[in-house]
Structures are given as structure tokens and as C-alpha cells.
Amino acid sequence: MSTEKSEDGTQPSKNALKKAAKEAEKAAKAAERKARQEAEAAAKAAAEVDDAADNYGKLPLNQSQTKTGEHRIQISSLNANAEGHHVLFRARLHTSRAQGSKMVFFAFRQRQHTIQGLLQLKEGHVSKQMLKWAAAITTESIVLVQGIVARPLEPVQSVTIKDSEIHIAKLFVISSVETRLPFTMDDASRPEEEYERSEKEGIQYNRVLLETRLNNRVLDLRTQTNQAIFTIEHGVCGLFRSYLDSQGFTEIHTPKLQGAATESGASVFKVQYFNGLAYLAQSPQLPKQMAIAADFERVYEIAPVFRAEDSNTHRHMTEFMGLDLEMAFEESYDEVVDLLDSLFLSIFEGLSSKYASEIALISKQFPAEPFTWRKKDQGGTLRLRFSDGIAMLKEAGAEVGDLDDLSTENEKWLGRLVKEKFHTDFYILDKFPMAIRPFYTMADPEDARYSNSYDFFMRGEEILSGAQRIHDASLLEAEMVKKGIEPASMKHYVDAFRLGCPPHGGGGIGLERVVMLFLKLNNIRRAALFPRDPKRLVP
């Protein structure tokens, strides 16, 4: 069949031929136009080849495949004297802002420190493509920055390092953010009062609630405030240990898995232990006393303690860090109180001198009157008898029984009264009523209604509880029976005292409470990396 024939075998009409010719002409024109466009695009591309392609981009996944040995700096080491230095560093992209099409401003962050970076169009070095790419990097990505240190025209107010900035030569992404951030660092770092002020002024900031922060704790912890809070917490532990080390203490580690529900059965977590049960230690009370009976003389431990109490308050957690100590004494438990007192002064002084910049940084988000205490040359720490504390409360109008425990309210009230009268945020309440203390507490030798026991307070809240302990097995058993505890349930503990034990006392400090109250963070969860409470077991 000839190609000239139409498909149905008929001859083509004149009109059909005309139409075909027109279409062919149209197609030819389109082809011509396309070829011209392509030629133009090629010409344009040739004119805009990215001569900075090696200076930016996402780096391949680090599997330790490359070792250049190039030195990378900490931005905190930079100052005006570093002007002109070539530097290389890894940092978070804190913020970025393009200015026109030729410049991008960055803030780079390393923990508590931020520095300004500047990326500027520069032929052969920084291309338009690089600028566009850099401006689009998600904040919180981890970047590798290479550049030259410059002195800014005027101090950079928006960052912590004000007298230096980086003129960026190369910029790479090491690890990028692969999700929508639930909040910005700026929003998470704003003090409460700023929300309130701005709302009055008609500005709407995103308030980041504590619950949201804790649900996204990894992001929340990155704020400069939080980096500083946990630096302080590190400081408290270090100061605690270094003071006790200087006083001849031995650090011990006591088991958290206990064979019996000790102290008070109600608030103990049960653990499935193979075919039986174990219990999580509520404190190292029993083993640390047993260490004294085992001749360790002075011991301390920093370890988690577990409380199965369904308390949903600003100052309770189901797991928190106990700073515990126990020591034999020679004559009187005053030796223990004196040591604990000196320990706290050493911690307060250490924090104030070594961590002044962290304290200042945190106070921007959590404004507070500085924590005050009476130094040794100001008469030393105030020691009140419990009965004197009750008298102060009564005088102020509180209805409280002489031998009643202090309610949280009265505790805070007494704190305010003490602050007014004695100008201190730190004091000791001694000689608590016997009936409200644990079974192992030694009674006062003169008045058996009271005991050789004490609490320490910061800003009106209890942060340490301690006492002289009973070191006589028979007396201990008698006290256990009085409190309804079966001595056989703590056989190993009681037996320790039958082997001879020196008089001793000690105390347990709540780490997160000390940090919360020293910094006035208002909620204990802010002082715990990943807090645990009756409603929270993640993250």
C-alpha cells in the first residue's frame, strides 16, 4: 500500500493538504524557537558557571573516612586579637538572614556561645548559588565554617562574642535538620516577663510551655540557659566531692536493688527480679550506715534515688539525684552539722566564683534576687531550733502545733520570716520532733520529744534532711517496733550494729533542688536532664 493513500484508501482533499502544511510550518517554528531558547540557556549557563562549587554543600555522612588533621577552634577562644586569623569550626546554625542578594548574616552557636558570620558575594570565591544555598540552610543544622576573623565596625549585640565576627570562605552542612522544629531557640530562651510585657504591647510571641519543652527536651536543652544550668549542676557535684575529698571521705556505690522494701514500704518501686521481687532503694540510708559500721568512717555517694510517690508538684520527681553522706563523729552530731554547713558554704562560694557568667546568663531568663547566705565572718549560718522556728511562725499568726511537721506552706512562711529577720536564704533548723522523723533517728538526750535531727533550707524550701542515727541494735529495734516496722525485715541492717558501730550522722541532699533554688528556676524539672514524674517516663 502506497504511503500517499489515506488510511481509508480515499485520496486526500485540498483542505486537508492545506491544514497539514500549516501544521508542519507551526512545528518547524516551535522547533526553531526551542532550539533558540536552549542555545540562550546554554549561553547563560556558560556565563554563570559556579566557580564556588567546592566551597559549600552538604558533606557526605561522616564514617571517619577522612582525616585532614586541620585544627578546629572553639569560638569562645576568639577575641579582637584574633583579627585576620584563618579559622575552621563546627557549630550549630543559630540564625540566618539574607540581606539583598549579595550578603547573608549568620549567628553560629557552640553551647553558650554565639558569633556572627558574614557571607558576601565575591567573584571566584562566593557565588550567587552559594549565597542562595547558604541562606536556605535550616537553623539548628550543624555546619562546618571556614573563614577569617574580622573586627566588626561596632560590637555585635545579638551574639555573645561581640568583638569578633567571621568572614566566611567555606560553609558545609555536617548534619541537617530533617524535621519541623517544634519551637525556635529564641522562643525557648525568652523570660516569662517578656511574654507578659510583649502581650501588653500587642506583640505575639510563641510561649513555649514546660510540657512542650520536656516533650522535646533534646531541642530545649540546647538553649544557652539550659547549657548553663547543667554546667552549674556539674559544678555542684564537683564542689560537693572536692570538699568531701578534702575532709577524708571515701566515695561509695551502694546497690539500688534491695531485697526488702526498706524505710517506708508505701513509696517503693517493685522490680521483677528473676523469679522473685526486688525493690528500688529510696535512699542509700541503710547501706551508707552499714559502711560506717564497716569502718569506712566518712562516706559519700552521688546516685539516683527512687520515690514511688504520686506527687505532682513543682518539687517532686520519682527519680532524682541524691548527694548523700554519712560520717562517724567523736562526741556530738554538731560535728556533722558543722561539716555539712561548711560543705554548703564551699558549694555556694564555688558556684559564685567559678560560674558567675553562667549564673548571669541564666538570670536573664529566670530573673531572681541573688542567693544570699551568711558568710563565716558574718556570724556564719543561722541555726534555729525547731521550737524557735515554731515560735516565730506562731508570732506571725500561724496556727501550728509544737510537735507537728512543717507543711510546705509553713516551711515557705518560715523562710520568709527568716529572710526578713536574718537576711539569709540559707539556714538550718535543728532538733526536730522525734515523732515526725524516721525510726533510725537518735532522740535528744534532754527531751525525748525532740531528736538530734535537722533540715537545711534554701529560699524557704528543704534541701537536706539528716540526723544523728541510732548506732545501738537494741534501741534501733525498739524504735522500729514503735513505728510499726518488723526488725526482721531489715535483719542485715540491724545486725550491722551488733558488730559494734561508732556514733554517726549524716544527711541526704537533693541535687536538683539545690540547683533549682540557687537559680530560682521554680520547677525542679528544669534542673533534671530528662525528668521523671508520675506522668512522665520519656524522653
Pick 306 or 427: Cβ nearer a copy of itself: 306
Which of 317, 330, 380 lies closest to 515 in space, CA to CA? 317
DSSP character string of 54-95: GGEEEPPP-SS----------GGG--GGGTT-EEEEEEEEEE
Sign of the CA dihedral with 104 first, then 110, 115, and 121 last: negative
Question: Which CA distances in Å does 435 have to 143, 264, 384, 453, 474?
Answer: 61, 15, 19, 11, 19
Which of 443, 510, 122, 36 lies closest to 282 in space, CA to CA? 510
Q: Is residue 494 a contact point for a copy of itself (CB under 8 A)?
A: no
Number of residues that bind a copy of itself (CB under 8 A): 114
In the complex, the smallest distance separating the C-beta of residue 192 from a copy of itself, rounded to whole angstroms, is 22
Pick 92 or 315: Cβ nearer a copy of itself: 92
Angle between helices 491-498 and 285-293 (to 10 degrees): 20
Pick 414 or 470: Cβ nearer a copy of itself: 470
- Site map for a copy of itself, 9-48, x if CB under 8 A? ----------------------------------------
Residues in the chain: 539
Q: Is residue 254 a contact point for a copy of itself (CB under 8 A)?
A: yes
Q: Which residues of 163-184 are buried (b: 16+ CB within 10 A; e: fewer)?
A: ebbbebbbbbbeeebeeeeebb
In the complex, the smallest distance separating the C-beta of residue 2 from a copy of itself, rounded to whole angstroms, is 54
In the complex, the smallest distance separating the C-beta of residue 119 from a copy of itself, rounded to whole angstroms, is 20
Q: Is residue 128 a contact point for a copy of itself (CB under 8 A)?
A: no
Q: Is 420 exposed, middle or buried (0-12, 13-18, 19+ CB in 10 A)?
A: exposed
- Site map for a copy of itself, 354-393, x if CB under 8 A? ----------------------------------------
Q: Which stretch binds a copy of itself (CB under 8 A): 34-42, 313-321, 352-360, 456-464?
A: 313-321
Q: Is residue 257 a contact point for a copy of itself (CB under 8 A)?
A: yes
Q: Which stretch binds a copy of itself (CB under 8 A): 30-38, 66-74, 187-195, 415-423?
A: 66-74
Q: Which of 57, 255, 367, 379 binds a copy of itself (CB under 8 A)?
A: 255
Which residues, in sequence order, are CB contacts of 394 under 8 Å at separation 6+? 400
- Please report how many Cα atoms fall inside a 13 Å half-sphere around the Cα of residue 479, on the Cβ side: 23
Pick 406 or 515: Cβ nearer a copy of itself: 515
Amino acid making up residue 509:
I
Q: Is residue 119 a contact point for a copy of itself (CB under 8 A)?
A: no
Q: Is residue 332 a contact point for a copy of itself (CB under 8 A)?
A: yes
Q: What is the 3-state secondary structure (H, E, C) of 350-376?
A: HHHHHCHHHHHHHHHHCCCCCCCCCCH
In the complex, the smallest distance separating the C-beta of residue 502 from a copy of itself, rounded to whole angstroms, is 5
State how far the Cα of 346 lies from the Cα of 32, in Å rounded to an integer: 86
Helix and strand element counts for the chain (H, E): 15, 17
Q: Is residue 433 a contact point for a copy of itself (CB under 8 A)?
A: no
Which grid coordinates belong to 81?
586579637
In the complex, the smallest distance separating the C-beta of residue 46 from a copy of itself, rounded to whole angstroms, is 36
- What residues from 520 to 539 belong to the interface with a copy of itself (CB under 8 A)? 528-532, 534, 537-539
Which of 97, 133, 141 lies closest to 117 in space, CA to CA? 97
Catalytic status, residue 383: no
Q: Which of 12, 57, 370, 500 binds a copy of itself (CB under 8 A)?
A: 500
- What residues from 79 to 108 belong to the interface with a copy of itself (CB under 8 A)? 90, 92
Which grid coordinates belong to 461?
524550701
Pick 507 or 531: Cβ nearer a copy of itself: 531
- What residues from 258 to 287 belong to the interface with a copy of itself (CB under 8 A)? 258-260, 269-274, 276, 278, 280, 287
In the complex, the smallest distance separating the C-beta of residue 385 from a copy of itself, rounded to whole angstroms, is 14
Q: Is residue 515 a contact point for a copy of itself (CB under 8 A)?
A: no
Q: Is residue 353 a contact point for a copy of itself (CB under 8 A)?
A: no
| Long-range CB contacts for residues 493-498, cutoff 8 Å, separation at least 24 | 493/262, 493/286, 493/289, 493/290, 496/289, 496/290, 496/293, 496/294, 497/293, 497/470, 497/471, 497/472, 497/473, 498/473
Pick 300 or 413: Cβ nearer a copy of itself: 300
Q: What is the largest CA-CA distance in the chain?
A: 132
CA 109 to chain centre: 17
- What residues from 130 to 169 belong to the interface with a copy of itself (CB under 8 A)? 140-142
Q: Which of 475, 478, 481, 488 binds a copy of itself (CB under 8 A)?
A: 475
Catalytic status, residue 513: yes
Catalytic status, residue 213: no
Catalytic residue among 383, 465, 489, 536: 465
Question: Which CA distances in Å does 316 have to 160, 210, 395?
Answer: 34, 15, 30
Q: Which of 166, 208, 321, 476 binds a copy of itself (CB under 8 A)?
A: 321
Active site amino acids: 307, 309, 315-316, 462, 465, 513
